[in-house]
Amino acid sequence: MPELPEVEVVRAGLERHVVGATIVAVEVLHPRPVRRHPTGAAGFAAELTGRRLVGARRRGKYLWLPLDSGDAVMAHLGMSGQLLVQRPTAPYERHLRIRMVLEGSDDGTELRFVDQRMFGGLSVSAGGAELPPEIGHIARDPLDPLFDDAELVRRVRRSSSGIKRILLNQSVVSGVGNIYADEALWRARLHGERPGNRLTATQVRELLGHVRDVMNDALAQGGTSFDALYVNVNGESGYFDRSLHAYGREDEPCERCGTPMRRVAFMNRSSYFCPACQPVPRRRAAARSVGTTPAAPTTG
Ligand SMILES: [Zn+2]
């Protein structure tokens, strides 16, 4: 599952390579990725043909390409979706689902949607150029210049949910996925089950700063991957693996204190943390901590 930095890398690549181009032909090779379109593959192709791409925008992990018609093409990357900018002569990818032939930017390119598992797809959002109504409920992400830090502090401190669960709530703050939440919590020395209403405003602000640092580090590392005429996202690009301090490091020594890192189940995924630097909160009413087991005391 791609996280915000990967999606931002794709957005920036699209901005560089396809904005300003006109869609001169659309070929849908499999109906499933356009299943959200009410008039099917033929209607999808007809609505886009002749339209000009006037931007590449993002909110959280959601990506859209505004059109000169005021509508937008929304990309749902799902688990395995990729957007590639290719030469028309490039051989078809094995899981190529949709081709858009472009004219007028980066001479003779195609925007290709490749998706092996097809949980993702493309759709046309009517009137969605500025902000597709389908994602109107998604909060701004911490890298958005208009993100409201004070409002986040207020919302966290009003909530009795665990702080990790709050970070993953896309209506509170968008774009923070499981991996980056674990990394930011490790840097902030906070356990993900710490209830929001037991954090100080300073702790929340510091955590937000760590979230931004983690995202910016990932962006800096991914920044070179779209220099070529090739835009790619699949969540497995690996560029952020090198800098992970928490995620995926079960039983490895904490890089700060040497205590073996622990893994616990969390919302059908995993949470990784240092039991010494990020002590498990003590509380009786643990009804909200679904699927989480308390960590045993560990000696370093
Ligand atoms: Zn530690």
Measured in angstroms, how far is the CA atom of residue 213 from the centroid of ligand 1? Answer: 19
The whole-number pLDDT of residue 230 equals: 40
User: pLDDT tens digit string along 183-239?
Assistant: 999 999 999 999 999 999 999 999 999 999 988 887 777 644 443 334 444 333 444
Q: What residues are paired with 121 via a beta bridge?
A: 76
List, as one string, the DSSP characters of 60-96.
Answer: TTEEEEEBTTS-EEEEE-TTTEEEEEE-TTSPPPTTE
Measured in angstroms, how far is the CA atom of residue 192 from the centroid of ligand 1? Answer: 14
The whole-number pLDDT of residue 158 equals: 97
User: pLDDT tens digit string along 27-67?
Assistant: 999 999 999 888 899 999 999 999 999 999 999 888 999 99
Q: Which residue has the tokens 């109906």?
A: 31
Measured in angstroms, how far is the CA atom of residue 259 from the centroid of ligand 1? Answer: 5
Between 107 and 299, the more confident residue is: 107
Cα 272 to the center of its chain, rounded Å:
19
Measured in angstroms, how far is the CA atom of residue 191 from the centroid of ligand 1? Answer: 11
User: pLDDT tens digit string along 44-54?
Assistant: 999 999 999 99
Q: What is the pTM of this model?
A: 0.77
Measured in angstroms, how far is the CA atom of residue 279 from the centroid of ligand 1? Answer: 9
Longest dimension (CA), the chain: 65
Host H or E run for residue 10: helix 4-17
Angle at 291 between CA 204 and CA 208, to 5 degrees: 15
Q: Distance of CA 140 to CAs 13, 137, 144, 198, 250, Å?
A: 21, 9, 6, 24, 32
Q: Distance of CA 147 to CAs 9, 109, 196, Å?
A: 20, 35, 19
Give the torsion sign (CA, 35, 39, 41, 43): negative
For β-strands 109-115 and 81-86, DSSP reports them as antiparallel
Per-residue confidence at 244, pLDDT binned at 50, 70, 90? Answer: confident
Q: Is residue 5's pLDDT more than 80?
A: no
Give the SS3 label for residue 272. Answer: strand
Provide the annotated active-site residues.
2-3, 61, 269
- Report how far residue 275's alpha carbon sits from residue 299's, in angstroms, rounded to the nearest whole number: 9
The whole-number pLDDT of residue 122 equals: 94
- For residue 3, give the DSSP letter: -
Tokens of 183: 């990394």
Tokens of 273: 């943390």
Averaged pLDDT, 139-164 = 96
Tokens of 186: 């490790």
Buried b (16+ CB within 10 A) or exposed e, 157-184: bebebbbbbbbbebebbbbbbbbbbbbb
CA dihedral 186, 193, 195, 168 (to 10 degrees): 70
Give the SS3 label for residue 268. Answer: coil
